[in-house]
Structure 1
Amino acid sequence: MVNFEYLVPTKILFGKGTENEAGRLIKEFGGHKALIHWGGDYVRTTGLLDRVHKGLKDAGITYVDLDGVVPNPRLSLVKKGVELCKQEDVDFILAIGGGSAIDSSKAIAYGLANDFDLEDLFLGKVSTDKIAKIGAISTLAGTGSETSNSAVIDIDTMGPKTLKRSYNHECARPLFAIMNPELTYSLPAYQTAAPGADIMMHTMERYFTTERDVELTDEIAEGLLRTVKTMVPEALAHPTSYTARANLLLAGAKSHDGLTGLGRVGDFACHAIEHEIGAMFDVAHGAGLTAIWSSWAKYVIHVDPERFAQFAVNVWGVQNDFHDPMATGLRGIEAWDQWCHSIGMPTNLHELGVNPTDEQIQEMAEGAVEARGGDHAGNFMKLHVEDIVNILKNAR
């Protein structure tokens, strides 16, 4: 078990009606004027925005609104948000939504607190530990951005080519996260399934490790995976199931705050590859991940077939062939594919609806490695450009 530091300072307010407490929490954390940031009609049409406005007014918090966030949030909107915050003397950013709205809000908060080009931050040319105050109201269970240290942004401000890049720092964990499962009831099936798969992947990226002696972390991770495996189909079948929605919302937060990776080094090669797919083809993040995971898994299983066998048995209930861990592990990968199909998620690029050329695959492979700042992506198996090319070709 490797040394680790684990601190999640985000205050979670969980349950029915908690969105009405946003103003009180902003005031508690020293905010005076907030930027309320979101995307889509849901926030307005359901009355959620009105309730948030009232809560801020009752707490004596003034505010300005900025909508327009889209999946795979754009840096161009972030920059507009930074300028609006400066013009309006905003000192607190309140995100309403899923990972896109929260990540866009984090990027705005970085821009408000620092004097550099945000492109340079997400391209790794500068770093910072300064960020404006942030809070989040979650309306989607999946990305875990409401408790994570990560922000992922599409850089669309540098010409025709869009780059999808992340910046991770502990300062980016929101001060509070408001999580009312009822706010997720009206999500379309696709927006339940794709983020549900993302929850699984956030844990699986940490689970597949060559680090030994992490039994407690394994138990936490496997329990979370089994829960999400059950609750995504339940939420799809019964969209207003409070039990399913509550478990998914909490699992999303815990899957990406570091808990399921304590004591080991995560992999995140699939995230690096998906970021390139998402930037090039503008696909849903969770669906992009499911489209490549089994190809990645089959490519790297030889590194530690026993690890994949454990995943197959403890998460998917596969019968263990003690004499052939490779065979057991491959049945676990097959079980994953079957689960993805059962919730409407793709397991290859064709099912995702994209058909990259060899030239595009080469470009994505090079981008995945470049984004990691070295000569490879991943840790379970260090993947070089040619490895990622093979994985992407196998996923077509």
Structure 2
Amino acid sequence: MPATEFQQSSSSSSSSSSPSFGFSILSRRRDQVHSHSMESPPAGLENELEAFQRQVADRFHDLSAADSGELLSIPWLRKLLDAFLCCHEEFRAILFNNQPYLNKPPLERQISDFFERSVKALDVCNAIRDGIEQMRQWQKPLEIVLCALDNQRSIGEGQIRRAKKALIDLTIGMLDEKESSTALAHRNRSFGRNNLHKEHKSLGHFRSLSWSVSRNWSAARQLQAISNNLVAPRSNEILSTNGLNLAVFTMSYVLLFVMWALVAAIPCQDRGLQTHFAISKQFLWAGPILSLHERILEESKKRARRNACGLLKEIYEIEQCARHLNELVDNTQLPLPEEKERELRITVEEAGNVCKSLKDGLDPLERQVREVFRRIVRNRTQGLDSTGGGD
């Protein structure tokens, strides 16, 4: 049995008021006569470990309660990163409080594996920051469209021409690296081949950003590397480490899921969602994580999202607004008919709301990704020092 009997309560609630844990392996072992030289677990360790498992469960239960309109939005991603940082800090405290046990097998190897996964997660953080910067570049032509069409008494030929050019730049900028210009032309027929050829040079602007990962780096392969050999500890291993390896396993799984969700949402090189999540539901936190994994996969299979460069809600809204605006301004007759002008102004207002979401949300999101990066580095440095791995 891979957990301290982390049986989910029959109640759907995971609050501390309801009994969520049965007798643990460690509790049963503590009541037995020790026939080996294994040291008794320090006082309070079992409660500390159970509190950590409960916090992970509570955090992800809250995240999984998001409705379809909130899931994979910038606010939801920020909530996800906040959950990671809180769980990571408690995990760091557990390691710090139990340093004498960290350099004994099999825990020493398991902690070393966790730190290796953490290093791979740093690359994912860098790629996500690149993706956030890409989204800032998309924001610029969207702002030009707003400047051209919003708050105008009358919309003339000059405003329409300026908006068209900005929409072409925006669509080319959102072109996924896997897609060709032919696919773009097919998807946005009204741009026309000539316009696409003329404006294709704009693609260089969006691709000329300073990338912090190599051009052949793959998010899908990185996630696969993080998930390799990630298996729940056996009962005898839990006993031999006083349950500490269970905390290491839990934090490893949280790390994997958070990186996977970021890759699913934000544009990055060679995105792939094929990572397999197989975990026993005996863990309190397994249910909400598996539920989120399934919901995100279902979102990726929707027809409108299959070829998206990211599943972030705001990316979808940008694409929808850009497509609708392009249909409205393409081959339009001036002056605009009253009904068409009203529809255009409504769509421009929607684009303004998306632009505001990006303006308000991208900077705080990037700061959180940076903080995740820093915390991982700090924890790894302290952990290696504690186990002697930094010598």
Give the structure-2-normalised TM-score. Answer: 0.25
Structure number having the greater helix percentage: 2
Structure having the higher Rg: 2
Greater RCO (CA < 8 Å, at least 6 residues apart): 2
Structure number having the greater strand percentage: 1
